[in-house]
Amino acid sequence: MSTVRRLGRISVPELKARKGGEPIVCLTAYTTPMARRLDPHVDLLMVGDSLGMVLYGFDSTLPVTLDMMIAHGAAVRRGSERACLVVDLPFGSYQESPEVAYRAAARLVAETGCSAVKLEGGREMAPTVAFLVARGIPVMGHVGLTPQSVNTLGGYRARGRDAEQREAITADAVAISEAGAFSLVVEGVVEPLARAITQRIAIPTIGIGGSPACDGQVLVIDDLIGMFDSFTPKFVKRYAEVGDQVAAAAIAYAADVRARRFPAKEHLFGTEN
């Protein structure tokens, strides 16, 4: 393996060229310290509107605002230098029209320095994707279980279990690909459907509750490390239990304070002698 240090970020064209090749490694990040930890190990950092649930305690992603996405996107940009950076367009910022979407996307790109934006939706959003791409804004699509449509979908259940849903989601994926998106998140669908979509479209698929056959995978970092425990989706693998470690540290600290063991002499000023 080459030991030459990479200069600059992984680009959108580089990721698009990974179709059918080495799997794309993607994680979410929302803060500068987390971005610094993840950046050397991933190809793509996604500032997802999932921050509304894992950071702000909302019941869904719907209350997330464009200003929130810009603030967190800029924070992740400051903490990373290698990974391609994609920031979500939040609910209500792009659905009205391609022109409205462009204004929101232009703010994201200009104020965060991100490489691309992500939006949810299928055939109905294809004209918006084409509009943005034609004006120099790379777009990542998102089909299947789309959290911003949770009220319409009736919850967070897996999609594609019947022929009608499979046909609709496949048509959505094809439309977004043909509109010019450079990659496509496929979330919460039955495995054979994610596999079929990956084989069908010309751009990389990023699975989350999809298939190992997808061209890449993404997880929410707080799910991966055990910091979000309100619920654990079936598709999540826990690689650490940081939440338990945080609680244990707080318990130990509280015990030391109450027993006057902290602060000790080594933590104080003017006690060197």
Among all residues, which ones are annotated catalytic? 187
Q: How far is it, in rounded angstroms, from Cα 226 to Cα 244? A: 8
Q: Residue 182 corresponds to which amino acid?
A: F
Bridge partners, 139 (sequence order): 117
Q: Report which of 136, 94, 139, 141 is spatially closest to residue 122, judged by C-alpha positions.
A: 141
Is residue 177 a contact partner of residue 220, using CB atoms and an 8 Å limit? no
Q: Pairing between strand 139-144 and 84-88?
A: unpaired
Q: How far is it, in rounded angstroms, from Cα 136 to Cα 11? A: 14
In sequence order, the 6+-apart residues with CB closer than 8 A to the CB of 159 are: 144, 145, 153, 165, 169, 188, 189, 190, 193
Q: How far is it, in rounded angstroms, from Cα 158 to Cα 145? A: 7
Helix, strand or coil, per DSSP, at residue 221: helix
Q: How far is it, in rounded angstroms, from Cα 206 to Cα 48? A: 14
Query: How much is the CA Rg of the chain, to the nearest whole Å?
Result: 21
Structure tokens at 233: 């989706």
Query: Within a 10 A sphere around the Cβ of 79, how many other Cβ atoms?
Result: 18
Helix, strand or coil, per DSSP, at residue 85: strand
Q: How far is it, in rounded angstroms, from Cα 220 to Cα 236? A: 9
